[in-house]
Amino acid sequence: MSVPDFSRLTADNIVAFLGDIFARRGAESYLGERVTMSEHMLQAALFAQAAGASEELVVAALLHDIGHYTNEFPEDALEKGTDTYHETAGAAVLSRFFPEVVVECVRQHVAAKRFLCAVDADYFGRLSEASVHTLALQGGPMSEEEARDFAKKRHAVDIVQVRIWDDEGKVPGLETPSFDDYAPMIGRVVAARGANLSGAHP
Ligand code: FE
């Protein structure tokens, strides 16, 4: 089989590119959790789907941790994505191809954890051990003022919802659809963003 050339990412090859990352790197462990990276992201997408989420939010859940793989992205995608924070890096590499709501859900999934810790007394108790550990490194729960500001952000409800599916996606052995099953949906979400862009800038 020939090696695909992803030296330049386009709207036409981004889905295959992401699929290639899932296929080659998905089995890596997910930072101290009992599921792999791809199991985790596929489970988050499955929980989104089970909740009847829009395709944009299912795709956001599926790709929320893609920033752990930014060393896979060609240089042109990385100019703004070299941030060592995986959520910022993930948003930067997706922002060329995906609608704003997807990008913001990825960018803010860590902030959403800090938000939920501040506003939902039960939420902290449901976090996995690894997630509690990283919370401290990520700045701990938001202050009341930070939480108030966060709640006013564009897409705040969607961002928080994707975070909840993220937290749910840590079930050892749970069967999910594969990345390939989601590929047509990802393609539609990319195409919708393209259509909006050409509509906005005639
Ligand atoms: Fe995650």
pTM: 0.92
Both tokens of 11, joined, read: 């709207």
Answer yes or no: is 1 within a domain: no
Please determine, for residue 201, whether its predicted confidence score (pLDDT) is greater than 50: no
pLDDT at 102: 98
Report how far ligand 1's centroid is from the alpha carbon of 31 (Å): 9
Tell me the pLDDT tens digit for each residue of 110-168.
999 999 999 998 999 999 998 998 898 889 999 999 999 999 999 999 999 999 999 99
CA of 12 relative to ligand 1 center, distance in Å: 26
In a domain, 77, yes or no: yes
End-to-end CA, the chain: 40
Of 101, 82, 57, nearest to 92 (Cα)? 82
Query: How remote is the CA of residue 202 from the centroid of ligand 1, in Å?
Result: 37
Q: How far is the CA of 193 from the centre of ligand 1 (A)?
A: 24
| Number of domains, the chain | 1
Query: Could you tell me if residue 202 is inside a domain?
Result: no
Task: Please name the residue that has the structure tokens 């994505």.
Answer: 81
What is the spatial distance between Cα 11 and Cα 184, in angstroms, rounded to a whole number? 13
Q: Rounded to whole angstroms, how far apart are CA atoms 150 and 160? A: 10
Can you name the residues that pair with 36 across neighbouring β-strands? 29
Tell me what pLDDT residue 153 has: 97
Compute the distance between CA of residue 194 and CA of residue 202 in angstroms, rounded to an integer: 12
Report the length, in residues, of the chain: 202
CA of 16 to the centre of ligand 1 (A): 21
d(CA 149, CA 190): 30
Q: CATH code at 159? A: 1.10.3210.10
Domain assignment present for 63: yes
pLDDT at 199: 56
What DSSP element (H or E) covers 132?
helix 129-137
Ligand 1 centroid to Cα of residue 40, in Å, is: 7
Give a yes or no: residue 148 inside a domain: yes
pLDDT tens digits, 43-94 = 999 999 999 999 999 999 999 999 999 888 887 665 554 556 888 889 988 9
Distance 65 CA to ligand 1 centre (A): 5
Hey, what amino acid is at 133?
H
Distance 199 CA to ligand 1 centre (A): 33
Q: Is residue 5 part of a domain?
A: no
SS3 category, 64: coil
Report if residue 199 sits inside a domain.
no
Q: How far is the CA of 95 from the centre of ligand 1 (A)?
A: 18
Q: Tell me, in angstroms, the distance from the centre of ligand 1 to residue 168's CA.
A: 9
Residue 178 sits in which domain range? 14-192
| 200 part of a folded domain | no
How far is the centre of ligand 1, averaged over its atoms, from the C-alpha of 68 (Å)?
Answer: 10
